[in-house]
Structure 1
């Protein structure tokens, strides 16, 4: 991906699956991801790493997501409970 994550961590979050501090190069992931399909964790990590390339959720961000994780939309839908099994 061509980015460097300086630090990362896992913590309990009430409203987010992950977060990225662009200036610090730090990523946090929600502890609740441990209960989800491992693909969901991959999606969140890629999503947050893409923020190191593009801050906003714009067309450039989407293009990076398509490049680095082509099936991200279906994983996002699963993670957000839009797909019921």
Structure 2
């Protein structure tokens, strides 16, 4: 997370990884805490980076508005392609054995 924190210029108070049944990640604005879904360990790196940048941008803009999108464009210009790739994948691979 550190390189992206430096690039964007924000630092969450805390962050972690946990099993999430219905979300890929979450941001708590009051606590400035980021959670990422453990399932990202099974996804391509570009998908993890997209979600990480997405959650870090919430430190600058809480809503998914034009300002949020402008920050995403600035810091991760191909974020729409990465989001599209991620959205084509299931949230979890419960049927696979690792």
Tell me which residue corresponds to 1:71: 78
Q: How many residues were matched structurally?
A: 82
1:42 has 2:49 as partner: yes
- Runs of 4+ in structure 1 deviating by more than 4 angstroms, as ranges, are none
Structure 1 gaps of 5+ residues are: none
Structure 2 gaps of 5+ residues are: 1-7, 90-98
Which TM-score applies when normalising by structure 2? 0.80
Alpha-carbon deviation of 1:26? 0.7
What RMSD in Å do the two structures reach over aligned CA positions?
A: 1.0
Rg larger in 1 or in 2? 2
